[in-house]
Chains A and B, each alone.
Chain A
């Protein structure tokens, strides 16, 4: 098997002396699993993060802490009204709490869910809509492998969004508000570094919630060729779940709603730290991810690809 040099640039050689179309022998020996997986995953990440729409969403998300930071700074100097998000009272004393407030607002105002819905709803439906799904499957990329790569890329994108939000909030918080040891809800005070660590845990928890939501979006995405349908469907589900979560008459099903544990993180800001609701939340997220991951897998591995 001799390596033939690549021909210099030029037009096609139609009609000229036949030269081998390719060098080497056909073979279907797979490469090392780790490196082939990383290669496909890298390509998927480039696709997600190279998409102008996805970058614009991250840009908007990054601007949110700036906007809210300035807004809170301005209203705070006038009067401190009741209501508003939790932790608003803490903000005046410590800028670290801007991150907590912004993460909460980003979840309740559907900013993070929108980000998640766009990427997860587009994952399979977008490929089907472009017809690139059949292209990938006849490579063959493998249906299960494709789904796994898609889901991990969704998780990475959600994580990037949550970390960006936390980082921008901390920067704005420390610029606009006092910094120093953090006073917890229970009245104790912890050093600033410990406070920053808790914000990081908070961001990771929000990312876990969004990754779980991403599994539902991925499942929806395998059911249609129209990404907008999957995206809208997922957002409707989030709103419906949040409404149900507010209705006292439905309290029996509250713990089973996909959005119920999103904001159950007050335990992080008590001393000693109360992990129980956080752990409940993570179990809920894992169960949702497993169920809808299985739905997506069952659907994609059995579907006739006619797009």
Chain B
């Protein structure tokens, strides 16, 4: 695996429970410095994959590397540089938020006790929990619990942050704060691997996506590529002429239906096309560049849910 430029790389990563294949030979490639959105319906193997990446469960088959360290077995070397939130926050209910972070920091061989108090306060501040730092965890609201979970990733510098559904249970403000936090983490050059089923979330945030379906990675690549080529739609009373002009301009996949002509947009700017159409005598009643939504792509890749369509 050439993994100098990959924060996470896997080949044939597989997890089998009895007869059921939870993760079916996936080849993950998470580029260093990317914000990688890990998409998929519930039960498609996202969390199982994340648990394998973090050494919590043993893969049945396949090889993988995290930050260039072969896993499993490299946990002690790789994981200190990986911040993570797996399947929701989990803390001691009778301890305060601050004491909970102190507990996790004390378990870390690679951090210093001398700087712990400062780092913990800083992490709490970053997620807006400094004022509630001494409240017991069980008195936290769902959103506060989620933010404390994210704060564990901020206790120390990281090269990779893995967040499993980080905005679960957050209100719209909280969601925006988390999104902004993820951007700040990524701005420092840290790779962010974020699993989500909230497409709007991924669309706004991510540079790369991987889409899981029934244990398989059905798509992986830059987000822009998934959304595909934008198309051009021209509404005109003279569709034949318009189609001819578009074909002359070198646009691919020109199709005509009724008074509408569509084609792949390609590299030519829409305003240039419009000008050519008008110069060629095509009365342009309307010109659009509709983009397929990520949701359309997502559903196409992962199948409709029940009761749709």
Spell out A's residues near B (CB within 8 Å). Answer: 6-7, 9-15, 18-31, 35-36, 39-40, 42-43, 47, 50-52, 130-132, 134-142, 146, 302, 304-306
Contacts and interface: CB of A to CB of B under 8 A. Distances in A.
B144 to A, nearest CB: 12
Contacts of B112: 31
Given A22-B157, A47-B92, 9 more contacts: A6-B125, A9-B131, A14-B180, A26-B158, A30-B76, A30-B110, A134-B51, A136-B107, A138-B55
Given A12-B126, A130-B93, A305 B57 contact: yes
Contacts of A7: 122, 125
B54 interface: yes
A9 B126 CA distance: 10
A201 B276 CA distance: 101
Interface in B154-182: 154, 156-159, 176-177, 180-181
Nearest to A133: B90
A138 B84 contact: yes
Interface size class of B (residues with CB under 8 A): 35 or more
Interface in B57-108: 57-58, 75-82, 84, 86-88, 90-95, 102-104, 106-108
Nearest to A11: B128
A304 B57 contact: yes
A15 B184 CA distance: 10
Contact of A27 (B119, B157, B177): B157
A23 to B, nearest CB: 7
B180 A23 contact: no
Contacts, number: 149
B253 interface: no
Contacts of A132: 90-92
B51 A39 contact: no
21 contacts: A7-B125, A9-B130, A12-B126, A12-B128, A14-B177, A21-B126, A24-B156, A25-B157, A26-B81, A27-B81, A31-B110, A47-B103, A50-B95, A132-B90, A134-B51, A134-B86, A135-B152, A136-B104, A137-B54, A302-B58, A304-B51
Interface string B174-197: 001100110111011010000000
Interface of B: 51, 54-58, 75-82, 84, 86-88, 90-95, 102-104, 106-113, 118-119, 121-122, 125-128, 130-131, 152, 154, 156-159, 176-177, 180-181, 183-185, 187-188, 190
Contacts of B57: 304-306
A138 B86 contact: yes
Contacts of A141: 107-108
B122 A22 contact: yes
B43 to A, nearest CB: 14
B189 to A, nearest CB: 10
A25 B92 CA distance: 29
B157 A304 contact: no
A122 B79 CA distance: 26
B81 A39 contact: no
Instruction: Summarize A's interface: helix, strand, loop or mixed.
Output: loop
A130 B107 contact: no
Nearest to B111: A31
Contacts of A28: 76-81, 110
Nearest to A33: B109
Contacts of A139: 79-80, 104, 107-108
Contacts of B54: 134, 137-138
A25 to B, nearest CB: 6
B181 A21 contact: yes
A21 B122 CA distance: 9
Nearest to A16: B180
Contacts of B121: 6
Most chain B beta-carbon neighbours within 10 Å: one of A9, A36, A52, A140: A140
Contact of A24 (B102, B157, B185): B157
B160 to A, nearest CB: 9
B56 A137 contact: yes
A190 B53 CA distance: 65
B177 A140 contact: no
A51 B93 CA distance: 11
Contacts of B90: 130-132, 134-135
A136 B91 CA distance: 10
A11 B184 CA distance: 16
A22 B156 contact: yes
Given A14-B176, A40-B106, A305-B56, A130 B159 contact: no
Given A31-B109, A130-B90, A304-B57, A14 B181 contact: yes
B53 to A, nearest CB: 10
Contacts of A305: 51, 56-57
A23 B58 CA distance: 33
Nearest to B147: A12
Contact of A140 (B75, B92, B127): B75
Given A9-B130, A29-B110, A142 B76 contact: yes
